[in-house]
Structure 1
């Protein structure tokens, strides 16, 4: 069965049409996401394309082997045809030579017959018409007649012997000509059959070559599709690194701001203490207590809205399922003979399954990216970050502080199926989530 170009072209077109028009930090509303029906159709088509690619790999090997064997057979047939043509030409030349000799012999035989008749007539006229009385009266003439008769008999015997040889040779040549004619007919028949077989083999070779070319083209399209997915993975990685850098910068600014605020409060407290030194001890203590509470209220509120860095980082599974469809790191695709890298893990979960925060933290990004759907990034203690991708929806916004186990969204559909793509980072380094999840 010949490989279908339309299937691969459709998959590539559908993916490329949606994968290049979203930037890393663009926030997309729920009604802007791809419809579930379209995603399901894309998922079905990419799975079919992977099955087709596996079939194409086999077809490519079979077509290459068949094309090579066909070329080998074609060359052998061409050599055989050339040999048959040479033999047929040789037989034809032999037949021409044979017939030329036969025609010459037949001409010689005819010439001999004519000469025999001419000699016989001459002898007859000269001697056999002489009267018997004259022959008796002329002894010398009698002797001449006797000699002529002897010569004529010898000549006739010689002519008959030559004629017999010519007939035998002519018969032999005719027999040889018949054999060559039959042999040439057989050679021509075999030559026609081999030429017909060679034509079929050449057609088969072109068929295999065309199939191999189409297979390679289809394989190339699917490989380009996989490279596009790898490019999307790199885009997500760059996005996470930028978020990490931005978070670090915000943390530095926040720390600087808190230091300045603390210095101002300290100066204000000192000034207040100096101005109230002369007041009574009983009045000074309540006022200082009241001012300290007022100065600490914004700090407490700000601390409530920040990431708690005091406790250890102990993440839990973000979905109820523990079934990992695709693990962390490199893997070789046997269908395409290519190596891909998964920066996280793909956890099997049906569409609509609740997704919860793996650990307490603050939401640093809610966005959408081609190939990953809705993405949520949460900052945790000590520079840790968790990434939740392929979400159908997100039930929170950037800046929100979440607790461990709090719902952040639901699992969505993608062209590869329904699953949660989960990543873990510490600073700018990727980590294998399996080593940390509890």
Structure 2
């Protein structure tokens, strides 16, 4: 049993290792690019994007490692419960056998011949022999069960030691990555202080944001298409077929995007919680003119300057559909809600969730990052493929 579980876990572990290796490979490439730059080149907006993307990848790595650690903890708890049940059953068998031995010592072991001689009738003799044989068989079964449970217990304890060691390694790697993340965030902060002095960098950021708005729209469309594709596949597949591999091969990524069990999103209009505890809107929805740079941009959402607590909360029940990095917005999370609604959270310094995670209203998804304007969260609401004004939804 445990060997089968280990094989299944090994297959899953290989897949997850490949995911982590891909992130680490991309990280190394970015580090090499930054190292190759001169001291002057490292003080540019392009270098800031490089550092910001590195922070995004490390944060994503930490989130995946944390998820693995949580899974390991659940497995450890389940194994401990199983060990406790096996030990309890072993103790019960031992107690029953002890009673049997004590009875033999006290009254002696009755043979079948003695049962026939002492019996008052043929029927009584027959029943006594039948009972003795059944009792003897139960004792043999008890011994077999005892041996089986001892093997199970040994396997479970071995499994527990493996899981504990795996968890220890995961925690060690995660803590190392957290140190690296804090180091890069500190470097970002120092570089931002230099870049803010040059107006041309703000212009570059605005250009990046224009491109990012298009990329967000494309991401929203991709999530909708994936959701529709899965619905069609489920509808066209016979209910008895449960082979997930069929779906996985055709769909681009294996995420459960169903939202039917979530609370209504549309009913929250005007009473929705804010994604940050304290904040002020500094960029409104729609067309925006920058008098300093004499430029006009269109914002599909709002920018909220966060004060004090920088944790970001999901505004409604939903499923994490995408965790991406976009120039101009940094780490971006897209969450799908009931009724075809989506929310977008940009400018995140840390990420606490993974694609596919199902969240309740108010659940923490990340932390606001620092940008040119300060600790600013970019927040959008989409109804299908149409962006809507978040100010009409958030509670006043």
TM-score (norm 2): 0.48
Structure richer in helix, relative to its length: 1
For normalisation by structure 1, the TM-score amounts to: 0.44
The structure, 1 or 2, with the larger RCO (C-alpha pairs under 8 Å, 6+ apart) is 1
